[in-house]
């Protein structure tokens, strides 16, 4: 068995602790996260875990940052794909949230609100996701229309992701197809009155 | 001082406990809720509080139900007002969430997810809010378009409410005016490309 110092040197324990924390979060929500339990599952003492993360907030912040980075990669991949437009990015966004419900909620501060609000690294990684959407809108819209359009799209996508995580859509529906149908309305406006 | 029994008889303690719990929730989020602290602030023992609510979950459920009932009343009032259409209801929805951020989050299960999901009373009161929106859409849209339009509007409004609660809009902006500008896009679709 290596010492903590050896582990630190080899850089192995930090990602292990984070992946254990992430699994705990998805199993039991933010209240299931504790440095003691994270250490226990990783097979190290709580002080060894403290060596890498000074607090649970620091772990939550690292998870949130990682979450926004992954989300941003998924959106990039979708926008680079054959469909290449914002709808594909929105579908990828909602799929990420569905696949990582605990992480997605944490990314928006659930269980760690006070801390998440003041955290600049999280703010910066969140801003990167927002920019992906805004950049696309800037190509298409008049400058004065961009801010509201971006907030509109972000609200829609965030709300749909959370309602889907919460099980607020009919069971048996293909969630990707449903996300596409709903997000498409952003471009059309509501269907005309009959 | 009255006895617990006397209080129960006069029906005073239950609303007191709920209003104390609601204030605690807004001050410190779901983790600030405890039967002991609720009892302490209401000036009664924990067992006396238990007399009215068997668990913290029961208090959370009562708060969530009350929240959906209030939200529904606000939407009714907005729909009955001079503007009379769904946009007014959406603005009222977002304003309710902004005025009651802790309660709004609780209504969607924050801190009490497992419990909230299985609770029929919460489900029913939530459904009432959903119906207010759907009834309006049914007057205007073809039947096959209603379900997606309702999910679209609910996602947009829910997402906007949460982003505003989270402080994700520029400071100094009038939130009601901003909500109106953003929600209006639901009827228009995104502005045409320049």
Where in chain A are the domains?
1-54, 57-188
Say whether residue B25 is in contact with chain A using an 8 A CB cutoff.
no
DSSP-derived secondary structure letter, A53: -
- The answer to whether the CB of B169 falls within 8 A of the CB of A165 is no
Phi-psi map region of A181: left, alpha, beta (phi>0 left; psi -120 to 50 alpha): alpha
Per-residue pLDDT for A187 more than 70?
yes
Determine whether the interchain pair B141/A117 forms a contact, defined as Cβ–Cβ distance below 8 Å: no
**Class of the A57-188 domain?**
mainly alpha
Say whether residue A142 is in contact with chain B using an 8 A CB cutoff.
yes
Question: Which residue does chain B place closest to A147, by CA atoms?
Answer: B182
- The answer to whether the CB of A177 falls within 8 A of the CB of B174 is no
pLDDT mean over B78-82: 81
Per-residue pLDDT for A2 more than 90?
no
CATH of domain B1-54: 1.10.10
Say whether residue A187 is in contact with chain B using an 8 A CB cutoff.
yes
Cβ neighbours for B19, distance < 8 A, ≥ 6 positions apart? none
Identify the weakest region by mean pLDDT among A41-55, B6-20, B134-148, B157-171.
B6-20
Determine whether the interchain pair B108/A158 forms a contact, defined as Cβ–Cβ distance below 8 Å: no
Helix (H) or strand (E) holding B68: helix B56-80
Predicted pLDDT at A133: 87
Residues of chain A neighbouring B145 (CB-CB closer than 8 A): 191
pLDDT tens digits along A95-131: 999 999 999 999 987 777 656 666 788 888 888 888 8
Residue A115: C-alpha distances to residues A54, A110, B160, B163, B164 (Å): 14, 10, 21, 16, 17
- Whether domain B61-188 has CATH 2.40.30.20: the reply is no
Determine whether the interchain pair B29/A113 forms a contact, defined as Cβ–Cβ distance below 8 Å: yes
Report phi then psi at B8, rounded to 5. -60, -45
Helix (H) or strand (E) holding A64: helix A56-80
- The answer to whether the CB of A67 falls within 8 A of the CB of A134 is no
Domains B1-54 and B61-188 agree in fold: no
Which of the two residues, B114 and B163, has the higher pLDDT score? B163
Predicted pLDDT at A5: 46
């Amino acid at each position: 068995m290596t010492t903590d110092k050896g582990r630190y040197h080899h850089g192995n324990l930090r990602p292990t602790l984070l992946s254990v924390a992430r699994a705990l979060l998805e199993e039991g929500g933010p209240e299931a996260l504790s440095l003691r339990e994270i250490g226990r599952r990783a097979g190290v003492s709580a002080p060894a875990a403290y060596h890498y993360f000074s607090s649970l907030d620091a772990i939550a912040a690292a998870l949130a940052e990682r979450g926004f980075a992954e989300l941003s990669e998924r959106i990039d991949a979708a926008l680079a794909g054959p469909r290449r437009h914002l709808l594909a990015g929105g579908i990828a966004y909602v799929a990420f949230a569905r696949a990582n419900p605990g992480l997605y909620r944490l990314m928006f501060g659930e269980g760690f609100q006070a801390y998440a609000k003041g955290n600049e690294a999280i703010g910066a990684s969140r801003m990167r996701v927002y920019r992906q959407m805004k950049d696309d809108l800037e190509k298409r819209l008049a400058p004065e229309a961009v801010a509201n359009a971006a907030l509109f799209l972000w609200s829609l996508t965030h709300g749909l992701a959370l309602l889907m995580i919460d099980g607020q859509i009919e069971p048996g529906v293909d969630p990707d197809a449903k996300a596409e149908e709903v997000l498409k309305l952003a471009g059309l406006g509501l269907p005309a009155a009959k």
